Amino acid sequence: MTISRDIVGILGLYGVLLFTISCTAENEHEAEDLDAPFSLEQVNSWSIHAPELIPNPVYAGVLEDGSLVIIDRSLNTINHFDAEGNHLETRGGEGRGPGEYLSIVAADFHPDGRIAIADISNARISIVSFHDEEEITVPLNSGWNTQLQWKEPGLVIFNHPFNLMATTQGDILMRLYDPETNEKEEFFQMELIMSDPPFEEISCTFCWFQFNDDLSFYTAPQDTSYRIFRVNPETGEETLFSRGGVQPVAYTEEERERLAESRSRSMQATGVDAPNDYRAPQYRNRFRNFFADDSGRLWAQLNGRADDPIRIDIFSPDAEYIGSLNAPDNASSIQYTKGGYLLVRYRNDDPDSWKGGLYKVSE
């Protein structure tokens, strides 16, 4: 079933959108943080020094047996390491043939060992497993902001296809692929508003989406407002997760200079002249990431200063604020995995190594 809803606003054009967002009004009063009734217990850690295998690691996931998979964007390879960090196998490589990749733009890891990879240049999605040699390929409608997520019913495929832009204002399509039947079905369609979106619009072309097993999903505008929406794809009903008083975090002047330089390079790469009056945003976007755990609670990772620990706000499935906690020391990013585990990538001054840890969430 396909449902069209005018619930998505676009905040900019293509990749430069990330650098043009300005601050919105915030509650003048400081938020009262509660201690979340959870703890994070480290169960494993990795320090992998293998620049010949993973010079540019971008995606990582942990499988049921505790092994680690890292996808490298420079070499277009899938690398398998055991729980101790020993290299087991590498697949892929650059090319157009079976088992080869040109431009990996999205990936997700199923605990049972299946790995889904979106290759925008080869216009296909590949599903591989280190447990066998079989590879399934699915045609990919190439487009902006491709995302893949394994859920109970199958693989969610999400993007804004290029080919729709020639005839319509643009649509974000959400499809479900069933590897057992090889069928792909669209379950939700969003119509983008290309100019002057109202404040209540919930997202944009390049925003992040997180799906639940029932195919409801979370998304948030890329600005400083504290708004995460859960949307029911069958009814279009929205639930707002928010709390007041959480102050925005300003960029340093050095960071703003780097943002301006990065934006200029992005525009040059697309053949667009950068305006002379551009000013980098003063404040960071509100969220780094967000996800729902196996109990339906929402974990919202807040953007803070570069050297500060990542702060996480946790909400009940009914959008009630439960409390907050800090991510593990030296965490740079967090990925949720099934079964109540967090895969944490650590900050790392060595560009030739990958460091991370697996944590169990305890109540």
Mean pLDDT value across residues 173-194: 88
Q: Is 258 part of any domain? A: no
Mean pLDDT value across residues 196-224: 82
Residue 260: predicted pLDDT = 84
167-205 burial, b for 16+ CB within 10 Å, e for fewer? eeebbbbbbbbeeeeeebeebbbbebbeeebeeebbbbb
pLDDT confidence of 111, banded at 50, 70, 90?
confident
Mean pLDDT value across residues 145-156: 96
Report whether pLDDT(254) > 80.
yes
Residue 170: predicted pLDDT = 62
Q: How far is it, in rounded angstroms, from Cα 285 to Cα 271?
A: 26
Give the length of the chain: 363
Amino acid of residue 329:
D
Residue 199: predicted pLDDT = 61
Mean pLDDT value across residues 101-110: 96
Q: Is 96 part of any domain? A: yes
pLDDT tens per residue across span 50-76: 999 999 999 999 999 999 999 999 999
Report whether pLDDT(21) > 70.
no
CATH code of 57's domain: 2.120.10.30
Q: How far is it, in rounded angstroms, from Cα 283 to Cα 159?
A: 27
Report whether pLDDT(19) > 50.
no
Domain residues for the domain of 49 are 4-249+284-362
pLDDT tens per residue across span 266-319: 777 656 666 666 788 899 999 999 999 999 999 999 998 888 889 999 999 999
Q: Is 262 part of any domain? A: no
Q: How far is it, in rounded angstroms, from Cα 176 to Cα 172?
A: 14
Q: Are 87 and 49 in contact (CB under 8 A)?
A: no
Report whether pLDDT(122) > 50.
yes
pLDDT confidence of 338, banded at 50, 70, 90?
confident
CB atoms within 10 A of CB 297: 17
Mean pLDDT value across residues 104-132: 94
Site of tokens 């934006």: 263
Report whether pLDDT(234) > 70.
yes
How remote is the C-alpha of 35 from its chain's centroid? 26
Residue 80: predicted pLDDT = 97
Domain count, the chain: 1
Of 79-88, 103-112, 207-216, 262-271, give the lowest mean pLDDT range: 262-271
Residue 305: predicted pLDDT = 87
Residue 280: predicted pLDDT = 84
Q: Are 282 and 314 in contact (CB under 8 A)?
A: no
Better-scored residue on pLDDT, 205 or 258: 258
Q: Is 274 part of any domain? A: no
Secondary structure (3-state) at 38: coil
Secondary structure (3-state) at 16: helix
Residue 72: predicted pLDDT = 96
pLDDT confidence of 1, banded at 50, 70, 90?
very low
Q: Is 9 part of any domain? A: yes
Mean pLDDT value across residues 113-142: 93
Secondary structure (3-state) at 262: helix
How remote is the C-alpha of 179 from its chain's centroid? 23
pLDDT tens per residue across span 346-363: 999 898 999 999 999 998
Tokens of 64: 């049921």
Q: Is 268 part of any domain? A: no
Q: Is 25 part of any domain? A: yes
Q: Is 122 part of any domain? A: yes
Q: How confident is the prediction for the chain on average, in pLDDT? A: 85
